Chains A and B, each alone.
Chain A
Amino acid sequence: MSALELKGVTKTFGGLKAVSDVTFSVPEGSIFGLIGPNGAGKTTVFNLVTGVYKPDVGSIHAGSVDVGPLAPSRIARLGIARTFQNIRLFGQLTVLENVLVACENKRKAHLGAALLRSPLFYRDEEDTSAKALELLKIFDLDKMADETSTSLSYGNQRRLEIARAMMLSPKILLLDEPAAGMNYGEAEGLKKQIRWLREKFEITVVLVEHNMQVVMGVCEDIHVLDHGETIAHGTPEAIRKDPKVLAAYLGEEVGEDEQAEGGYRDPAHEAPKDESDRPMLTAHPTRSPPAAKPGTPLLSVEDLAVSYGGIRALKAVSLEVRRGEIVAMIGANGAGKTTTLKTIVRLLAIAGGRIVYDGKDLEELGTEDVIDAGIALVPEGRAIFPDLTVRENLELGAYNHKNTTTIAETIADVVRLFPRLGERMKQEGGTLSGGEQQMLAIGRALMARPAMLLLDEPSLGIAPRLVADIFEAIARIAEAGTTILLVEQNTRLALKYSARAYVLRTGEIAMSGASKELAENEEIRAAYLGG
């Protein structure tokens, strides 16, 4: 008996086939993986199943019900719950309220009872709150029940989305990249949670995920899409060896041991010869280069403390980035990595300590002054401007030097770094695939011609094969003379490409040292590398 069955489903957007003749069936009670490169149509399949889009051709059955023509809210009430790739929580509502909204459709006390505040209303509120708190407890969110959901860390927001979906008491749970932004240890935890949810609530789970550790670890059945078409279907073992999947998606097991230190430079990634007389990413046209000499500290953070509401997100973080280095910051979700980066660019208030960039104290500066001083941030989750074209996105990044010649030069540099962006200059940012959006976000930051680049999770939600390209690009940016501070959950790659690294744990530096040594460290291996 299949819980979910797609037959010949096709969906076209403006002439482009996002999903083309896809057929698969998900056995009841199984954990089913849907994988493929960015832009393969995985999320579109989820949107078709949940009624956000209607299929042009083909049918989608949940049990015996044809859900194709139904409205999203109807489908949800049939017991198909989902999470979203780019988290969609009810921002201003509390954590508990977020979960409670999901039982609204089953509520026994209706508007009348609510207005009269009848006993039924109170009983209903109590019952539903109790159930919601129980679910929150499963995801370890019960202590944050009264905080607004925007105040949660990225990983906790992902967990809250699952808790909210489970409040529907679904038969089928669709998870869209639940492991995005999780490190090895957290992904292991997620695997256990998914299995446990399946046992406890007797649900069928369909998973879209780029994290192979999770996909290969929990899925019993895997369906692979590329450019909207099915390219493979089978067990994890079969998929892992499938030549088509290797070519289109997995690549040659990126980031594994064969890529020795320093030996990663692939000739194919070298800049095209005809352009290469001009050096890449020259300095800012008007700002003078940093006073710090190469190899001496460019950015130093001393005992930095930051609070969110009443909570201390950073206790005392001290770190140093020398000019020309790539420095990595690793650690669990909620450890304070993103907070550190955001505070450096002065998006968050400093509660204690100081940040010094090239001899300047950043405390009194606004974000725009920090950018002017030569720091640029590639934010977590990319934050590109979805309705602007790729070119407009890039041009906005050059806001601090409005000079047409230098803008054109820098755009050319970005295209040399990411040729795919060159092909898509006129496309709207929101229509790019996840990997391309990440390239655009990095490109946009480079447009400011920064002396120092802060990168927050550049591999988040990127297909394994593209992750290597992104890291290659980061190496080339550093080679061109830009100093880099990198936050990354792919600890293996982060340690591989960086010279030094800091390990954050609950708002404090737990460990630091040369990346090579940290990669050998027992504790780090166990927690973040899985070896």
Chain B
Amino acid sequence: MPSVLRRLLVAAILIGAVVGLEFGFERIVPDAAWRQLALFAMVNVIVALSLNVINGMAGQFSIGHAGFVGIGAYTGAMVASELHLKLGGGDVLFKNSFVVMPLALLAAAGMASLFGLVVGLPSLRLRGDYLAIVTLGFAEIFRLVIATAQTGGTAQGPVGHFLAKLGGQNGYAGPDGTGVAQYAGPFWIFGTVVVCTLIAWRLKFSGWGRALRALREDEIATAAVGVDPTQYKVTSFVIAAAGAGIAGALLASMRDGNPTVQPDQFTFTYSFDAITMVILGGSGSVSGAIVGGVFVTFTVKMIEQLQGLESVQALRAEHPGLDLNALRMVIYAAVLIGLMILRPEGLFGERELFKRRSRGRGTAGGAAPEPVPVKTKTEAQE
């Protein structure tokens, strides 16, 4: 079948591309800061893709996505670092990443989805804004529990002991304090983006995704056609949490990234950034989530870069009272407001960049249905 051939070809090209990036990325982007930014953008794409499942497709308002990213980051970092030591430590080798990364990603996804189930099961039974409140609370509790844990005390129970290992406010830097093993190079990060995009796309364009979007439009009518709203909402929430966990694991072991995982990375500013990515790109659109993730990451960076311009520096010298750092957020907000005025439904709305290949339509009629007395004389005239 040509479609199988085509699929294999596309898969081969994509694998070739990510392997190429693994080894050629430093040549393509020589500046480490920009490399870091590009990889961070890809992590954000996964964050946006996963949040899009629950916020965009299912229409539930989760505003604590950073919490799940955080859980994934800590889990992934611990697994990666422990495995790194087991493999003998030393240099981070590409061949070892095939042992470390799958396990780290799997553990992160599993842990995040477990928490997703615990948070989602009670709150998604209720309608309305409960989910928003619960997710926000959850993310903050998670962050503060880690940030305020006492480190180094001896009179601690097993929980205290475990939390102490996470490093409190200073962050987790591996079991020996030398930093998290950075196994997630371009291969793993870009590769995971490709896989996550594929999953998000296939979820959206399946009966399951259709039921989720129906749920977003009208919950009562969805139940009236036999779809259990709670089951679908909880499943989508768990999937979203798993995606966030994967993003977190990649963030924790990102090459050229921050070698420690700190609780302050997962404040609710990050949750709101994630919501911005989804809404800006277009709620419910897979393409939108990707563009939104990249756009938000780079816009924030671009505005930072603007501050380095000579003219801006001159301005600052002239008016010492001018707080450029505060202005950064004002500019960012202005960009967002402008976009929302120009395109209130987001860049893509619910549409996609590519047309979905439609299969089985038109030819699938089978036997022609028998004639039906639908039209009366008056209607037939029209």
Q: Which A residues have a C-beta under 8 Å from some C-beta of B?
A: 50-52, 71-74, 76-77, 81-82, 84, 88-93, 97-98, 100-107, 109-111, 114-115, 117, 121-122, 124-130, 133-134, 137-140, 164-165, 167-168, 183, 185-186, 188-189, 192-193, 196, 332, 334-335, 505-506, 526-528
Cα–Cα, bound, A51→B216 (Å): 20
Do residues A527 and B377 form an inter-chain contact, with CB atoms below 8 A?
Answer: yes
9-residue interface stretch from B46-54, B92-100, B220-228, B289-297: B220-228
Chain A residues whose C-beta falls within 8 Å of the C-beta of B220 in the assembled complex: 52, 72, 84, 88
B18-26, B115-123, B133-141, B200-208 - interface stretch: B200-208
In the assembled complex, the CB of B4 is this many whole angstroms from the nearest CB of chain A, namely 11
Q: How many residues of B are counted as interface, with CB atoms below 8 angstroms from the partner's CB atoms? A: 42
Pick the residue among A50, A100, A114, A121 that contacts B203 (CB under 8 A). Answer: A114
Whether A140 touches B207, Cβ cut-off 8 Å, given contacts A90-B221, A125-B359, is no
Q: How far is the CB of B49 from chain A (nearest CB, A)?
A: 14
Query: Which B residues are CB-close (under 8 A) to A110?
Result: 208
Contact of A196 among B202, B365, B366, B372 (CB under 8 A): B372
Closest to A505 in B: B382
By the criterion CB–CB under 8 Å, are B208 and A114 in contact? Answer: yes
CB of B82 closer than 8 Å to a CB of A: no
Q: Complex: how many Å from CA A415 to CA B222?
A: 39
Given A76-B223, A89-B217, 8 new contacts (CB under 8 A): A71-B223, A73-B222, A84-B224, A93-B214, A106-B226, A185-B376, A185-B379, A189-B373
Q: Find the residue from B207, B208, B364, B375 having the highest chain A CB count within 10 A.
A: B207
Minimum CB–CB distance from A201 to chain B (whole Å) comes to 12
How many whole Å from B53's CB to the nearest CB in chain A? 12
Cα distance A439–B147 when bound, in Å? 60
**A103 to B226, alpha carbons, bound, how many Å?**
8
Q: Is the CB of B360 within 8 A of A168?
A: no
- Contact residue among A89, A115, A133, A167 (Cβ-Cβ distance under 8 Å from B199): A115
Write out the residue numbers on chain A whose beta carbons fall within 8 Å of the beta carbon of B206: 111, 114-115, 121
Q: Is B378 an interface residue (CB 8 A)?
A: yes
Given contacts A81-B225, A335-B382, A505-B382, contact A104 B210 (CB under 8 A): yes
Taking the complex as formed, is B65 at the interface, i.e. its CB lies under 8 A from any CB of chain A?
Answer: no
Interface of B is mostly: helix
Cross-chain contact B374 with A76 (CB below 8 angstroms): no
B218 contacts A115, C-beta separation under 8 Å: no
- Residues of A contacting B: mostly: helix
Inter-chain contact B228/A107, CB cutoff 8 Å: no
Report the separation of the CA atoms of residues A167 and B217 in the bound assembly, to the nearest whole angstrom: 19
12 contacts between A and B (CB under 8 A): A72-B223, A72-B224, A73-B226, A73-B228, A92-B213, A102-B226, A104-B225, A104-B227, A124-B207, A129-B364, A165-B225, A185-B376
Residue of A whose beta carbon sits closest to that of B202: A115
Minimum Cβ distance to chain B for residue A328 (Å): 17
A50 touches B211 (CB 8 A): no
Is B90 in the interface zone, CB < 8 Å from A?
A: no
CA distance A526 to B373 in the complex (A): 18
- Inside 8 A of B228's CB, which chain A residues have their CB? 71, 73-74
In the complex the two chains form, is B217's CB within 8 Å of A92's CB?
yes
User: Nearest chain-B residue to A184 (Cβ)?
Assistant: B378
A97-B210 contact in complex given A90-B217, A185-B377, C-beta closer than 8 Å: yes
Report the separation of the CA atoms of residues A92 and B206 in the bound assembly, to the nearest whole angstrom: 16
| A140:B377 contact, CB within 8 angstroms | no
Contact B379 A189 (CB under 8 A): yes
Whether A101 contacts B365 by the Cβ 8 Å rule is: no
Q: What are the residues of chain A within 8 A of B216 when measuring CB–CB?
A: 92
How far, in whole Å, are A91 and B213 apart by their CA atoms in the complex? 10
Cross-chain contact B225 with A50 (CB below 8 angstroms): no
Contact of B378 among A92, A97, A138, A332 (CB under 8 A): A332
Find A192's partner among B211, B373, B378 (CB 8 Å cutoff). Answer: B373
Pair A93/B217 contact, Cβ less than 8 Å: yes
Q: B residues engaging A (CB < 8 A)?
A: 199, 202-203, 206-208, 210-211, 213-214, 216-218, 220-229, 235, 350, 359-361, 364-366, 369, 372-379, 381-382
A110-B202 Cα distance, complex, nearest whole Å: 12
CA distance A137 to B374 in the complex (A): 9
**B365 partner, pick from A81, A122, A130, A185, beta carbons under 8 A:** A130
Cα distance, A137 to B372, chains bound together (Å):
9
| Complex alpha-carbon distance, A97 and B360, angstroms | 14
Q: Which of these, A76, A98, A106, contacts B224 with CB under 8 Å?
A: A76
User: In the complex, what's the smallest C-beta–C-beta distance from A520 to chain B, in angstroms?
Assistant: 18
Lowest 3 A-B CB distances belong to which pairs?
Answer: A126-B360, A114-B206, A185-B378
Q: How far is the CA of A104 from the CA of B225 in the complex (A)?
A: 8
- On whether the beta carbons of A186 and B203 are closer than 8 Å, the reply is no
With A and B bound together, what is the CA distance between A115 and B220 in angstroms?
Answer: 27
Instruction: Evaluate contact between A100 and B207: CB separation under 8 angstroms.
Output: yes
With a cutoff of 8 Å between Cβ atoms, the chain B residues found around residue A82 in the complex are 224
In angstroms, Cα B252 to Cα A468, docked, is: 72
Name which residue of chain B comes closest to A76, CB basis.
B226
- The listed residue (A88, A104, A192, A334) touching B221 by CB distance below 8 A is A88
Q: Kindly provide the distance from the CB of B352 to the nearest chain A CB, expressed in whole angstroms.
A: 14
Whole-angstrom CA separation of A93 from B205 in the bound complex: 12
Cβ A186 vs Cβ B379 within 8 A? yes
The CA of A165 and the CA of B366, in the complex, are separated in Å by 22
Which A residues are CB-close (under 8 A) to B360?
122, 125-126, 129-130
Could you tell me the distance between the alpha carbons of A220 and B258 in the complex, rounded to whole angstroms? 76
Query: Nearest-CB distance from B130 to chain A (Å)?
Result: 18
Q: Are B213's CB and A90's CB within 8 A?
A: yes
Contacts A134-B369, A164-B225: A107 and B361 contacting too (C-beta < 8 A)?
no
B210:A105 contact, CB within 8 angstroms? no
Q: Which of B229, B369, B374 contacts A193 (CB 8 A)?
A: B374
Given contacts A72-B223, A102-B225, A134-B369, contact A122 B359 (CB under 8 A): yes
Among B227, B235, B364, B373, contact of A105 (Cβ-Cβ < 8 Å): B227
Residues of B within 8 A of A71 (CB): 223, 228
B349's closest neighbor in chain A, by CB? A92
Please pick, from A88, A133, A186, the residue contacting B376 in the complex, using a CB distance under 8 A: A186
Please report the C-alpha to C-alpha distance between residue A133 and residue B372 in the assembled complex, in whole angstroms: 14
Among residues of B, the one whose C-beta sits closest to the C-beta of A140 is: B374
CA of A133 to CA of B363 in the docked complex: distance in angstroms?
Answer: 11
Q: Which of A73, A107, A130, A164 has a CB less than 8 Å from the CB of B223?
A: A73
Query: Which B residues are CB-close (under 8 A) to A77?
Result: 226
Set A92, A114, A124, A134: member contacting B202, Cβ < 8 A: A114
Once the chains are docked, how many angstroms separate the CA of A98 from the CA of B207? 11
Closest to A528 in B: B378
